[in-house]
Structure 1
Amino acid sequence: MAQAARSPRQRGSRGRKPGRKPKQDAKDRRIAELEKRSARLEEKLALAEKLIDLQKKVSAILGINLTSDEER
C-alpha cells in the first residue's frame, strides 16, 4: 500500500501536526476552566429540572398539593 493512500489515523499522526503542544497562558487556562465548570453546572441544572418534573408528576399522581404556605 502506498504511503500517500493511507489515512492520517493509519499513519499514527491522528491528523495533528508533529511537535509539542503550544503552551497555554493563564487566560487560556482560565477560559478552559470556566468552560469545564459551565458544562458541569449545565449538567447539574438539567438533572435538577428533570427531578422537579418527576416530583410534579408524582405529586399529581398521589394527589398532593405542592403549593407552599406563602402561595396560599
Structure 2
Amino acid sequence: MWEAESAVIDAGRSAALSCRSWQDFSAGYILGRSLHFDEEEFGEWYTDMVEAHRILMSDPGSPWLNVPFR
C-alpha cells in the first residue's frame, strides 16, 4: 500500500510542476491518451475523454471543482 501511495504523491507533485490547474492537467492527459490510443488522431478515445473532462469541469460535486489543484 505504501508504494501506491508514494507513486500517487510523486505523480501529484510532477503534475503540479507541469500544469497550472485541473483544466491544464486534463488537456495534457487527453492529448497524450489520444495520441497513444487513437494512433495519433482525434478519434473515439478523444471524444470519450473530452466528455469526461466536460463532466469533471461542470458537475458541482466534481473533485476538480472542490479540491485545489495545488
TM-score, normalised by the number of residues in structure 2:
0.28
Structure showing greater Rg: 1
TM-score, normalised by the number of residues in structure 1:
0.27
Q: Which structure carries more helix by proportion?
A: 2
